Amino acid sequence: MRTAADVKSTRIHSVKELLARSAAGLTRVTDQAARQGFWSSWLCRHLPTEIGAQISGVAERDGTLVIFAASAAWCARLRYAVQELEPQIRAAAPQLTAIAVRVQPRS
């Protein structure tokens, strides 16, 4: 059982201090949102319209670009289309080590 004496709490004295602490977390979230927006628009420009419309999400994680399709059938079509675009994707983002296509139905 813990007591108040065991817990070292750091008091925040201003809004500026609070924002300075959470800035790293907010930066990560905004960077992820920017990358997601970049890839969503990039894929819509480079893929056929009917395939691009079936993308339900995009994420870049640990050097892997993960593209989500709305169904298993569209996932298969998207996988083939992405294979054809792979050299262009790697040219746009040389830091990528892998590209994956997964199924994620829309809510």
Condensed to tens digits (0 to 9), the pLDDT of residues 78-94 reads: 999 999 999 999 999 99
pLDDT of amino acid 29: 79
Q: Is residue 54 part of a domain?
A: yes
Q: pLDDT per residue over 5-41, tens digit each?
A: 555 556 767 777 766 666 666 777 788 899 999 999 9
Q: Is residue 5 part of a domain?
A: no
Q: Is residue 42 part of a domain?
A: yes
Q: Is residue 3 part of a domain?
A: no
Cα–Cα distance measured from residue 45 to residue 89, given in angstroms and rounded to the nearest whole number: 12
| pLDDT bucket at 99, cuts 50 / 70 / 90 | very high
First to last CA, the chain: 43
Percent of the chain with pLDDT over 70: 81
Q: In this structure, are residues 64 and 90 in contact, taking their beta carbons and an 8 Å threshold?
A: no
pLDDT of amino acid 36: 93
Q: Is residue 38 part of a domain?
A: yes
pLDDT of amino acid 7: 52
How many folded domains does the chain comprise? 1
Q: Is residue 4 part of a domain?
A: no
Q: Is residue 83 part of a domain?
A: yes
Question: Does the structure show a pLDDT above 90 at 67?
Answer: yes
Q: Is residue 9 part of a domain?
A: no
pLDDT of amino acid 2: 56
